[in-house]
Amino acid sequence: MPWRVDESNASPVPYKNQVRGWLSYAFASEVFVVVSLTLFLPICLEQFARDNGYYEPDHKTRCASAIITAEEARCVVKIGWAWIDTASFSLYTNSISVALQALTVISMGEVADHPRHRKRLLLSFAFTGAISAMVFFVLSSSSPIWQTSSLLAIVSNVCFGASIVALNAYLPSLARNSGEVIKAAAALADAPRSTGLSEEAEDSEDAGLLASVTPALVDAKAEYSKALTTATSRISSRGIATGYLAGIILLIIALIPVTKLKGSTLSLRLAIGMSGVWWGIFSLPAAVWLPSGSASTELSEKRTVWRQILFSWKRLSEMLRWKEIKKLRNTFKYLAAWFLLSDGFTTITSTAVLFSKTVLFMPASSLILIGVIVPTFGIIGSLAWPYLQRRMNLGNLRVVMILVVLASLAPAYGCFGFLPVFQRIGFGGMNNPNEMYGLAVYFGFVYGAFQAYARAFYAELIPKGEEAKWYALFSITDKSSSFVGPLAVGLIADLTGNIRYGFFFVVFMIWLAVPILMSVDVEKGRTDAESYSYRTSES
């Protein structure tokens, strides 16, 4: 029954320490997103390419040896046989990394659904990603293998995404085992059921379909659903706030070398390397506190690693069959919307950073300040929206929709920058660097809450016992799906010579998801997930 205590996290670790372990990994890993993935990696990769690039149209003047600010004098770098914009080098790298991330998280789904192996996978990916980030300490842009920076960025991003799938798989069971949910579950289990059936019929599998639903039972189930929704969003929001706090701390620390070294490539490498050190060190508490599962959760010995990977792909193909989609149609509606939203939000951040550097010519120290502002207000937003949700009595889906509409206004504002009136006065529509600080405040307040509520709402729509598989699918449509946006904006920047046109594409993607979100039936989706069962011929 859906109100029973979840035993999948069976572990001698006390529940409070399990939550601390979950939050500690958010504290460790989110630094890589805030410091590296969102801010320094795009800048550093662009700088690596710029240090080895040439100005158009003659391809003779080194970008590193001359400062030319005219828009027509684009800096391009030769990769293989093609000349590409230095900003596109960063965008293409991100696109490849998230595509490979999708392949990885699909392959690990079967193993990660077993708590004992889930923890091992999480830690393996964590330390591999951390080491990849640390290598930036020693790799310089003058090295003959400077292109390796792209490979390191790909490996670290893949490892981060895979570890987060394992981490998110803990969220539903942590919420179900919270005090208020257990209390609501007990009340639901004790609620009177006037079935009018014989004792034998009440014990049958169809008793739930035959029973008369009493008002007390309806109220108890509503209270259970409310408690579960609140617990899930609270834990998720605390994770976002904790991760952002870590990112702010390291950004302030990174500001020292970046300022002293005047935003040089070396200072960017140091910042990325420090995020790897932080990621590795603060993953250690998670290794101690996260639940490991019991011996009974071990995988069948007859399955080799390759068989487990193949089974994960087989299971994904079966999850995507039409008859399975119909069973969980609201879950898949949300995934369709999330495909567009996650791609759009990821592209907003990467495009805004590159736009600020290549069009507004903002120095690295200013970009760091923006990098501090966004997560700072992300913390405020992730903690404020649960309060607003309670005051306005809103469900998780309604909050997500409000946040989507508010977030879409940020790239829409950038589109107004083409209006002659704003170009003439040099302010409005992201024509002035000072505008980026106000936008950072606004976007951070919305984005922090959006991240928390997006995964919290999804937790309500997935079957119990297969959390890793479904969060793997979520990851494909989250960060792992986000190769489309950066790829499209990279192509737009190459074809038009102006990355600002990419904001139109982002607005279109976000608004395309709104009618899909509006069609999601929350209660039906939750009920379908609770009753969902899947049988496979392979034991």
Distance (Å, whole) CA 464 – CA 228:
13
Distance (Å, whole) CA 536 – CA 522:
28
The token pair at 428 is: 């409005």
The token pair at 124 is: 């393996």
Q: How many CB atoms lie within 10 A of CB 199?
A: 7
Q: Is 356 domain-assigned?
A: yes
Q: What is the pLDDT of residue 197?
A: 45
Distance (Å, whole) CA 256 – CA 267:
9
What's the structural domain count of the chain?
1
Report helix, strand or coil for 251.
helix
Q: Is 123 domain-assigned?
A: yes
Angle between helix 467-476 and 148-168 (nearest 10) = 140
Q: Is 5 domain-assigned?
A: no
Q: Which residues contact 317 (CB under 8 A, 6 or more apart)?
A: none
Backbone torsions φ then ψ of 293, nearest 5 degrees: 80, 170
Cα→Cα distances 318→118, 321, 323, 481, Å:
22, 5, 9, 20
Q: Are 216 and 191 in contact (CB under 8 A)?
A: yes
Q: Are 331 and 471 in contact (CB under 8 A)?
A: no
Q: What pairing do the DSSP bridges indicate for beta strands 82-85 and 75-79?
A: antiparallel
Q: Which residues contact 90 (CB under 8 A, 6 or more apart)?
A: 41, 42, 43, 45, 46, 49, 350, 354
Backbone torsions φ then ψ of 166, nearest 5 degrees: -65, -40
Partner residues linked to 212 by β-bridges: 194
Q: Is 9 domain-assigned?
A: no
Spatial CA neighbour of 25 closest among 178, 188, 162? 162
Structural domain harbouring 397: 15-192+210-531
The token pair at 128 is: 């591999």
N- to C-terminal Cα distance for the chain?
23
Q: Is 177 domain-assigned?
A: yes
Q: Is 89 domain-assigned?
A: yes
Per-10-residue mean pLDDT of the chain, 539 residues long, equals: 45 81 94 86 88 82 66 76 84 83 79 76 95 95 90 94 88 86 83 56 47 68 79 85 89 85 87 95 93 54 63 75 86 89 81 80 81 86 85 85 91 84 79 88 90 85 78 71 73 80 87 91 86 58
CATH number at 135 reads 1.20.1250.20
Q: What is the pLDDT of residue 22?
A: 93
**HSE-up of 253 (CA within 13 Å, CB side)?**
16
Q: How many CB atoms lie within 10 A of CB 421?
A: 10
Q: What is the pLDDT of residue 302?
A: 47
Q: Is 274 domain-assigned?
A: yes
Distance (Å, whole) CA 356 – CA 168:
32
Q: What is the pLDDT of residue 284?
A: 95
DSSP for 265-324, please give it: HHHHHHHHHHHHHHHHHTTHHHHHHS----GGGPPPTT--HHHHHHHHHHHHHHHTSHHH
Backbone torsions φ then ψ of 147, nearest 5 degrees: -65, -15
Distance (Å, whole) CA 155 – CA 132:
7
Spatial CA neighbour of 449 closest among 304, 278, 234, 272? 234
pTM assigned to the model: 0.72
Q: Where is 75: in which H helix or E strand? A: strand 75-79
Quote the DSSP letter at residue 108: T
Exposure string of 200-211, with b = 16+ CB inside 10 Å and e = fewer, is eeeeeeeeeeeb
Q: Is 241 domain-assigned?
A: yes
Distance (Å, whole) CA 494 – CA 97:
20
Distance (Å, whole) CA 19 – CA 499:
42
Q: Where is 337: in which H helix or E strand? A: helix 329-358
